[in-house]
Amino acid sequence: MIKPVGSDELQPRFVYDSEEHHKLMREAETLPSVLISSQAAGNAVMMGAGYFNPLKGFMKVADAMGAAETMTLTDGSFFPVPVLCLVENTDSIGDAQRIALRDPNMEGHPVLAIMDVENIETVTDDQMAKMTEKVYRTNDMEHPGVAAFNGQGRVALSGPIQVLHFSYFQDDFPDTFRTAVEIRNEIQERGWNKIVAFQTRNPMHLAHEELCHMAMDRLGCDGLVIHMLLGKLKPGDIPAPVRDAAIRKMVEVYFPPNSAMVTGYGFDMLYAGPREAVLHAYFRQNMGATHFIIGRDHAGVGDYYGAFDAQTIFEEEVPAGALDIEIFKADHTAWSKKLNKVVMMCEAPDHQKEDFVLLSGTKVREMLGNGEAPPKEFSRPEVAKILIDYYQTL
């Protein structure tokens, strides 16, 4: 199996030993605590689950700046984005060296992790602007990722963490949320050797399904891991439970047995386009995938990124040898009226736009809201029914 990034074995920060876990939970209730941001909570969950291996905790400012500017930390290791714990102030913790981090996304704000505080630093406006520009390629506060990143405090707490809970993800999505450790174990149990991963924050229409089949066939893969984002999205995106149901139905009906695994991870979407594509590849290697599909405008939003910037960044900016996972580069896929099948548009040079079945997201939402299924060349009827049922409740 492919090795994790930066180590021979995964080093998840979740405390799995039950006796140690109980001991730390008792200790946590006696420690000074701070309520962290949703983004920091997602970072903690990803470290706990092994996706951010070999990170041991939240970055100091120098490491965060290195990650943003060159994807290289001060010790020379690779990481594509800053992983910060930013808070408004330290009033509740003072100069304590061991603190509890409380979850903003669950009622009662339970303890998510314990941190050994190594540094308390103030991030300057200039540093924040530089990190934002490098990671998001814009400082426009209309960009949802930029707004979320800059909407946190400016006091950075750094140091190793011990994760005690997976936030609401494990509770709300028990059949879907999986750690990198669990996915690696299931890949081994299924006997897969070559695995392609597919990222989604949306339900999968026919073109997405066929793209996964294409990648599996062309790469000679034993298995596909459909890995969906379960964290916070921008307004208007379809809720995770609805996406989950739609994707599971698609796999049940249209994929052979033991060929596809439906899983999810707990993290707030960054909408950082190219840089987030690298992060996606990073944690897909950690969960055991050998290949990762990156298509047109991967992890993008609005018009902030070029259509294929998320592919070219791997050749132009990612340090050589930083990742072992291989990228499957995909173009936009759509149903060809000439060929009566889904194709990558770049592989149909004799086609004009009108030769494809293309529907805008606005049009699809309008149809579903009216109880009308999109054409079968766009969406499987079983998937459309689940989405129509959801839109009828709005």
Residue 5 within any structural domain of the chain: no
The percent of residues above 70 in pLDDT, for the chain, comes to 99
**Residue 10 lies inside a defined structural domain of this protein:** no
**pLDDT class for 365, splitting at 50, 70, 90?**
confident
Q: Look at residue 216 in the predicted model and tell me its pLDDT.
A: 98
Calculate what percentage of the chain has a pLDDT beyond 90: 90
Q: Is it true that the peptide bond before 4 is cis, omega within 30 degrees of 0?
A: no
Q: Are residues 152 and 220 in the same domain?
A: no
User: Beta partners for 203?
Assistant: none
Please give the tally of structural domains in the chain. 2
Specify the DSSP class assigned to residue 239.
P
Q: For position 235, what pLDDT does the model report?
A: 72
Q: Which residues face 119 on adjacent strands?
A: 158
Please give the distance of CA 101 from its chain centroid, rounded to a whole number.
22
- Do 215 and 153 share a domain, yes or no? no
User: Is residue 240 very low, low, confident or very high in pLDDT (cuts 50, 70, 90)?
Assistant: confident
Alpha helical stretches, state H, the chain: 18-28, 38-48, 61-70, 125-136, 144-150, 167-172, 180-190, 206-219, 240-254, 274-286, 309-316, 361-369, 381-391
Please report whether residue 127 resides in a domain: yes
CB atoms within 10 A of CB 52: 27
pLDDT score of 361:
82
Judge if 159 and 236 occupy the same domain: no
Same domain for 188 and 158, yes or no, is no
Q: Write down which residue in 150, 170, 190 finishes a domain.
A: 170
CA atoms within 13 A on the CB side of 285: 23
233 and 209 assigned to the same domain: yes
Residues 154 and 190 in one domain: no
- CATH no. for residue 41? 3.10.400.10
Which residue segment(s) compose the domain that 107 sits in?
18-170
Final residue in a domain of this structure, among 115, 147, 170: 170
4: its two tokens: 């994790």
In a domain, 8, yes or no: no
- Choosing from 98, 154, 190, 201, the catalytic residue is 201
Average pLDDT over residues 36-65: 98
Verify that 74 and 144 share a domain, yes or no. yes
Task: Give the model's pLDDT for residue 360.
Answer: 86
Mean pLDDT for the stretch of residues 258-273: 94
Question: Do 96 and 118 reside in the same domain of the chain?
Answer: yes
Q: Is 77 a member of any domain?
A: yes
DSSP 374-392: PPTTTS-HHHHHHHHHHHT
Q: Tell me the pLDDT band of 231, cut-offs 50, 70 and 90.
A: confident
244 in the same domain as 225: yes
Q: State mean pLDDT over 311-335.
A: 96
pLDDT-derived band at 241 (thresholds 50, 70, 90) equals confident
How many Å apart are CA 369 and CA 391, to the nearest integer?
5
For position 239, what pLDDT does the model report? 84
Report the alpha-carbon distance of residue 29 to residue 27 in Å, rounded.
5
pLDDT surpasses 90 at 270: yes
Q: Catalytic pick from 119, 154, 190, 202?
A: 202
pLDDT at 46: 98
Instruction: Find all residues with CB under 8 Å of 376, minimum gap 6, and list them.
Output: 206
**pLDDT band, very low/low/confident/very high, at 236 (cuts 50, 70, 90):** confident
Q: What torsion, rounded to 10 degrees, do the Cα atoms 201, 206, 212, 217 define?
A: 180
Do 342 and 207 fall into the same domain? Answer: yes
Of the candidates 226, 110, 114, 223, which has an alpha carbon nearest to the alpha carbon of residue 170? Answer: 110
Instruction: Read off the pLDDT of each residue in 316-331 and give the average, rounded to a whole number.
Output: 96
CB 182 within 8 A of CB 149: no
Closest by CA position to 230, among listed 173, 183, 290 = 173
DSSP state of 78: B
Quick one: pLDDT band at residue 49, thresholds 50, 70, 90? very high
The answer to the question of residue 12 being in a domain is: no
Closest CA to 377 of 364, 365, 387: 364
What pLDDT, on the 0 to 100 scale, is given for residue 394?
Answer: 82
Domain contains 347: yes
Pairwise CA distance, residues 230 & 122, whole Å: 31
pLDDT of 52 reads: 98
> Which band of pLDDT confidence, cut at 50, 70 and 90, is reported for residue 202?
confident
Eight-state DSSP code of residue 355: G
Q: Tell me the average pLDDT across 25-51.
A: 97
What integer best gives the mean pLDDT of the chain? 95
Helices 381-391/240-254 angle, 10° precision: 160
Give yes or no: 201 in active site.
Answer: yes
Residues 144 and 188 in one domain: no
pLDDT over threshold 80, residue 392: yes
Alpha-carbon Rg of the chain, whole angstroms?
A: 21
Q: Is 275 a catalytic residue?
A: no
Asked whether the beta carbons of 278 and 187 are under 8 A apart, the reply is no
Q: Are residues 37 and 151 in the same domain?
A: yes
Helix and strand counts by DSSP (H, E) for the chain: 13, 15
Q: Which residues pair with 291 in a beta bridge?
A: 196, 326
| 6 located within any domain | no
Residue in 187, 156, 33, 148 with CA at minimum distance from that of residue 85:
156
pTM: 0.94
Query: Using CA atoms, how far apart are residues 353 and 40, in angstroms rounded to an integer?
Result: 43
Calpha distance 195→220 (Å, rounded): 9
- Would the pLDDT of 145 be above 90? yes
pLDDT band for 362, please (50, 70, 90 cuts): confident
Which of 122, 137, 170 is the C-terminal boundary of a domain? Answer: 170
Choose among 46, 260, 294, 277: nearest CA to 161.
46
| CATH (domain of 275) | 3.40.50.620
With bands split at pLDDT 50, 70 and 90, how would you rate the model's confidence at 152?
Answer: very high
Concatenate the DSSP letters of all residues of 284-336 into one string. Answer: HHHTT-SEEEE-TTTT--TTSS-TTHHHHHHHHTSPTTS--SEEEE---EEEE
pLDDT of residue 192: 97
Could you read off the pLDDT of 212-224 as tens digits, one per residue?
999 999 999 999 9
Separation of alpha carbons 82 and 84, rounded Å = 6
Q: How far apart are CA 7 and CA 78, in angstroms?
A: 12
- With DSSP H G I counted as helix, E B as strand and the rest as coil, what are the percentages for the chain, rounded to 5? 35, 20, 45
pLDDT tier at 237 (50, 70, 90 boundaries)?
confident
